[in-house]
């Protein structure tokens, strides 16, 4: 193994460093994205129970907030349970964005490693070929041993860079898919919670509407009617 690293030259050290970082991120994400850490059945059951009963317990809300990731999202919904539905929905969506950010932690770094390690291997290939051709120009092609070191460096760094990139890319795609599945499940549970909270909240009395004001008589029409009656009486008196 040491001989393999030596054959690759100094570019093997950043490639090895990238592989160590990628391994650490992979292990950390496997632990952080477990079902019990993201969508805990206990937290979901507790949230549904409170929403069905219509009674929000502050201690239970704090327990949800400090539990799994979906618990923090549902706790944001209970914090605004007395507010209108659209405000409660906005609170849940904001908490969901923070939850997605937590689940995607370090994944950009893993994707960057998957992208740059092949380039490191390619750089090692170029440097190795430069070394090989420079030795050929110095001693000619009579002795293959003079160019073997440069070619070995080119092949080793290329193989190492591609190997690290393949593993990093596979786990990056895997974790991104896992996060997407979690996001869909969290959205479904959050909207179910919102509907349950709205259905089981005590019904507030509707605001009384002011009674329609009595229609006031039109003074103009009344005056014209009185004048017509008076004129009719006068005509009747003259005829009599």
Q: What is the pTM of this model?
A: 0.72
How far apart CA 46 and CA 70 sit, in angstroms, is 12
**Quick check: 15 and 162 in contact, CB under 8 A?**
no
Burial (CB < 10 A; 0-12, 13-18, 19+), residue 138, is exposed
pLDDT in tens, 98-153: 899 999 999 999 999 999 999 998 888 888 778 777 776 766 655 666 666 667 77
Positions of the chain with pLDDT lower than 50, given as ranges: 203-214, 217-218, 222, 238, 240
Work out the angle between the directed axes of helices 145-200 and 69-79 (0-180°, nearest 10): 30
**Residue extents of the structural domains in the chain:** 2-115+164-200
DSSP summary character for residue 57: -
Q: Which residues contact 231 (CB under 8 A, 6 or more apart)?
A: none
Q: In this structure, what DSSP letter does residue 142 have? A: S
Residue 220 confidence (pLDDT): 53
């Amino acid at each position: 193994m040491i001989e393999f690293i030596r054959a690759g030259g100094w570019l093997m050290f950043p490639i090895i460093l990238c592989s160590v970082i990628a391994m650490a991120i992979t292990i950390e994400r496997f632990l952080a994205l477990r079902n019990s850490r993201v969508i805990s059945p206990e937290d979901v059951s507790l949230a549904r129970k409170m929403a069905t009963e219509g009674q929000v317990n502050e201690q239970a809300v704090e327990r949800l907030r400090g539990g799994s990731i979906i618990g923090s999202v549902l706790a944001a919904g209970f914090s605004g349970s007395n507010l209108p539905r659209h405000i409660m929905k906005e609170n849940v969506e904001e908490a969901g964005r923070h939850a997605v950010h937590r689940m995607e932690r370090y994944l950009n770094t893993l994707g960057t490693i998957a992208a740059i390690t092949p380039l490191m291997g390619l750089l090692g290939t170029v440097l190795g070929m430069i070394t090989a051709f420079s030795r050929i120009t110095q001693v000619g092609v009579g002795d293959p041993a003079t160019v073997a070191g440069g070619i070995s460096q080119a092949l080793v760094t290329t193989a190492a860079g591609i190997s690290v990139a393949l593993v990093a890319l596979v786990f990056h795609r895997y974790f991104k898919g896992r996060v997407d599945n979690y996001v869909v499940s969290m959205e479904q549970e959050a909207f179910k919670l919102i509907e349950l909270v709205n259905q089981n909240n005590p019904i507030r009395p509707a605001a009384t509407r002011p009674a329609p004001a009595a229609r006031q008589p039109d003074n103009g029409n009344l005056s014209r009617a009185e004048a017509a009656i008076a004129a009719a009486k006068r005509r009747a008196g003259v005829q009599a």
